[in-house]
Amino acid sequence: MTERATPPENPLTCPIAATIAMLGGKWKPMIVHMLAAGTLRFGQIKRNLPAVSQKMLTQQLRELEHDGIVRRVVYPQVPPRVEYSLTDHGARLKPILEALYVWGREHAAGR
């Protein structure tokens, strides 16, 4: 049995809270999970998340880029080509998101 960590005095400084602040929201975990498989263009991400609006997807990608999780590369051509990929920092989230994926699949199967 593992020993449970003592909760921090201030829950706002908890590392879990910091992680959730970066990945919070409906779409960010799914975006990062998709990018874990490789580089994607905006349209490819949008097709895989048809329920998200273009405005919301752009906002979520910008926030992930600002937090150093996603890299955005713009190629100077007409029309402009923009590709998104995980940074090294973002790639460290792969095992965490994989664990969430497995847990979610098992949880859904048990219903």
Q: DSSP secondary structure string, 1-34?
A: -PPPPPPPSSGGG-HHHHHHHHH-SSSHHHHHHH
For residue 10, the model assigns a pLDDT of 72
Q: What is the pTM of this model?
A: 0.83
pLDDT score, position 9? 61
The per-residue pLDDT for 109 is 79
Examine residue 9 and state whether it is found in any structural domain, yes or no.
Answer: no
Per-residue pLDDT at 8: 58
In a domain, 14, yes or no: no
What is residue 108's predicted lDDT score, i.e. its pLDDT?
Answer: 84
CATH at 85 = 1.10.10.10
Reading the block at residue 27, the tokens are 């779409």
- Determine the distance from the C-alpha atom of residue 70 to the mean position of all C-alpha atoms in its chain, rounded to a whole number: 8
| Residue 84 structural domain | 28-109
Averaged pLDDT in 10-residue chunks for the chain of 111 residues:
61 80 90 96 96 96 96 92 96 93 87 68
Q: Report whether 17 contacts 10 (CB < 8 A).
A: no
Taking a C-beta distance cutoff of 8 angstroms, is the pair 35, 57 a contact? no
- How many domains are contained in the chain? 1
Tell me, yes or no, whether 21 lies in a domain.
Answer: no
Cβ contact 65:83 at 8 Å: no
Distances (CA, A) of 53 to 4, 43, 111: 41, 12, 30
